[in-house]
A and B are shown apart, each in its own frame.
Chain A
Amino acid sequence: MGSRASSLLREEDIEEIKKETGFSHSQITRLYSRFHSLDKGENGALSREDFQRIPELAINPLGDRIINAFFPEGTNKKYTAREDQVNFRGFMRTLAHFRPVEDNEKNKDLTSGEPLNSRTNKLHFAFQLYDLDRDDKISRDELLQVLRMMVGVNISDEQLGSIADRTIQEADTNGDMCISFSEFTKVLEKVDVEQKMSIRFLH
């Protein structure tokens, strides 16, 4: 008797996802069950509403931005059939950024160059939470938007504005009043990003 949920996932697909993301076989099947249980419409893809049905995500102040990270700009056919849907490969690709970095794992066999869960790629994920228009710069407005999402109504506009200005001042090295990716990386150079942006799988 074949299994139900994972019969929709072929072995070739699992192998490809393994190569691209570095997840193990059992992790991929478990995550597929999770994907399937979130997919209420049973059409093999998740919409934004499917994500918002998770209560813990809905009360996360940055919930909408995190959901956005699954729906990249421009339809890359491999990951999204439509602009507002993400299939399993796209789902896994985004989750792969949070895979822990194992020292003994030399993923030199990955075809896509640097592994998705490298420090640079993790930082890039965090950068894109701020950079809404994907122009590789965090402007003052974008920073204010994220700040407003995180603090709600508890801080006044003026105070938030001065916090944003100070942050940009400290980070900006080339004087363009925006934070580029390399400036962002410099600010976070002492933060243990590999450990803080990782989910520990139990097996």
Chain B
Amino acid sequence: MTDLFGFWAVFFPVLRVWFTCLVVLIMLPAMFGISLGITETYMKILLKTLEWATHRIQRASRAEEILKRSASNGLIQRNDSSLEQEIEELRRNRPKSAERGDFTLSDVLYFSTRGIESIVEDDVTQRFTSEELVSWNLLTRTNNNFQYISLRLTVLWGVGVVVRYCILLPLRITLTAIGLSWLVIGTTMVGFLPNFRVKGWLSELVHLMCYRICARGLSATIHYHNKQNRPKRGGICVANHTSPIDVVILANDGCYAMVGQVHGGLMGVLQRAMERSCPHIWFERAEMRDRHLVTQRLRDHVNNKTKLPILIFPEGTCINNTSVMMFKKGSFEIGGTIYPVAIKYDPQFGDAFWNSSKYSMVSYLLRMMTSWAIVCNVWYLPPMTQEEGEDAVQFANRVKSTIAQQGGLVDLAWDGGLKRAKVKESFKEQQQKKYSHMVVGDDSSD
């Protein structure tokens, strides 16, 4: 009994010191947006260590590395020429037939080579798994092709494991817990206030503070660019989607009205709390199917110029931050000004992509909290509006290209929904139609 008592007598002061340090050194500065430089020092040490590790790995296995470390990481060189060009070339040496019907047995070579190329490497399936790193960053999870190099590196990796799991992880979990509880408590308190302007200002303050604490809970270092283009009230902010953390990243620098499905559990508690202090847009599952209803509610929100800008991710699903996939046109039919935002994570310090088919939300958050850090760049792009004679799809593509260009991401026309769904038959029919033209010529086949 006395042993237990003795244990607590020692443990309590330690706990008190721990908490005081936490509050003073991390929480308070975070809440007020000041930085004490601790994170900067940590990042500098981390960078130096990773550079040394890279150098060691490269030195140890020279021959293969020079070839493997190509920036493109591509496996094969894809041919960009069109169906028509390729088939013309294949038929070049064949004498032209006088009758209509220009099929040759060699036509099949085009489709077979393209098919095999797509089996070896295709544009779409690689977007739904984490990006392969050029050089190892001392995390077991990214250890794909790297073999044992030296004792020192192993020791460093071991130290890294200890630091990440025993020091950083408890710290981050505590911070996030504090941040989220503060969100619930703060927004509920603000919700009781009747007054309009003060209420809005306080609500924004509460939101900002707690998102800042959460960002510290992930050791997130965010660089914002072009802050003059920050989304304004009555507008719609669109961004590329990599993980749920995108919300925390963006909300660190401004207040947005969230759009999403009503959840149960912890998410539901958060949603209801946030709803009390300022209007967000939460949909029931059944309501989401009714596109007119959704568009109408969003339109009402946007037309009210006192309400916060809406945050939407038009891709509809998480992509691995190497490309931007098709933007669903729904967000672009609402009207109102679009404020595009490009988010690019630095994969060297931690992989932010949420592979929802592989990891649940909880294991994903744990992985986030045991990475080195989350480093990302956010670019605010100039506002865009739909032009004359441009339909929603073209507008969506225009916005998508702007974001892709700024973030250095590949601009793909493929639908992110291909993560789970099958591709539409109409694409195959398009190919068949193109080929038919080459067989019978452009006049109709009667």
Residues of A bordering B, CB below 8 Å: 1-6, 25-26, 29-31, 33-34, 37-38, 51-63, 65-66, 95, 98, 125-126, 129-130, 146-147, 150-156, 159, 162-163, 166-167, 171, 179, 184, 187-188, 190-191, 193, 196-203
A contact residues around B67 at 8 Å (CB) = 26, 203
Q: Is B428 an interface residue (CB 8 A)?
A: yes
Q: Are B112 and A125 in contact (CB under 8 A)?
A: yes
Contact for B112 among A31, A34, A66, A154, CB less than 8 A: A66
Stretch at the interface among B121-129, B165-173, B191-199, B206-214: B121-129
B125 engages A54 (CB within 8 Å):
yes
Scoring B residues 396 to 429 as 1 if CB is less than 8 Å from chain A, else 0, what string do you get?
Answer: 0000000000000000001000100011000111
Q: Once the chains bind, are A26 and B118 in contact (CB under 8 Å)?
A: no
Q: Please name all residues of chain A whose beta carbon is closer than 8 Å to the beta carbon of B124 when the two chains form the complex.
A: 54-56
Could you tell me which residues of chain B, from 43 to 87, have a CB within 8 Å of some CB in chain A? 64, 67-68, 70, 72, 74-77
How far does the Cβ of B113 sit from chain A's closest Cβ, in whole Å? 6
From B68, B115, B439, name the one whose CB has the most chain A CB atoms within 10 angstroms.
B115
Q: Count of chain B residues with Cβ under 8 Å from any Cβ of A?
A: 67
Tally inter-chain residue pairs, CB-CB below 8 A: 190
The one of B77, B116, B118 that contacts A200, using a Cβ cutoff of 8 Å? B77
User: Within the complex, what minimum Cβ distance (angstroms) separates A99 from chain B?
Assistant: 11
Of the residues B105, B113, B114, B148, contact of A184 by C-beta under 8 Å: B105
CB-based nearest B residue for A154: B436
Question: Once the chains bind, are A37 and B129 in contact (CB under 8 Å)?
Answer: yes
17 A-B residue contacts at CB 8 Å? A1-B148, A1-B157, A3-B147, A60-B114, A154-B436, A155-B439, A155-B440, A159-B101, A163-B439, A187-B104, A187-B106, A191-B109, A196-B113, A198-B113, A199-B116, A200-B77, A203-B70
Which of A55, A65, A66, A162 is the most central at the interface, judged by chain B CB atoms within 10 Å of its CB? A55
Q: Does B2 contact A (CB under 8 A)?
A: no
Whether B64 pairs with A196 at a CB distance below 8 angstroms is: no
Also in contact, A126 and B109, with CB within 8 A (given A1-B157, A5-B145, A57-B115): yes
Across the interface, B108 reaches (CB within 8 A) one of A3, A30, A55, A129, namely A129
Specify which of B99, B414, B432 lies most central, judged by the most chain A CB atoms within 10 Å of its CB. Answer: B432
B117 to chain A: closest residue by CB = A199
Which residues of chain B from 370 to 412 have any CB-CB distance to chain A below 8 Å in the complex? none
Q: Are A197 and B76 in contact (CB under 8 A)?
A: no
A151:B423 contact, CB within 8 angstroms: no
The DSSP consensus for interface residues of chain A is helix
Q: With a CB–CB cut-off of 8 A, which chain A residues contact B68?
A: 26, 203
Please measure, in the bound complex, the distance between the C-alpha atom of A190 and the C-alpha atom of B104, giving whole angstroms: 12
**Nearest CB in chain A to that of B128: its residue:** A37
User: B140 to chain A: which residues have CB within 8 Å?
Assistant: 1
Q: A1-B140, A66-B116 are in contact. Are A59 and B75 (CB under 8 A)?
A: no
Within 8 Å of chain A (Cβ to Cβ): is B146? yes
Contact of B115 with A66 in the complex, beta carbons under 8 Å: yes
* B125 A37 Cβ-Cβ under 8 A: yes
Q: Chain B residues near A184 (CB, 8 Å)?
A: 105
Give bound CA distance, A159 to B120, whole Å.
Answer: 36
Q: Evaluate contact between A62 and B148: CB separation under 8 angstroms.
A: no
Residues of A within 8 A of B439 (CB): 151, 155, 163
- Within the complex, what minimum Cβ distance (angstroms) separates B79 from chain A? 8
Q: Is B145 within 8 A of A156, CB to CB?
A: no
In the assembled complex, the CB of A38 is this many whole angstroms from the nearest CB of chain B, namely: 7
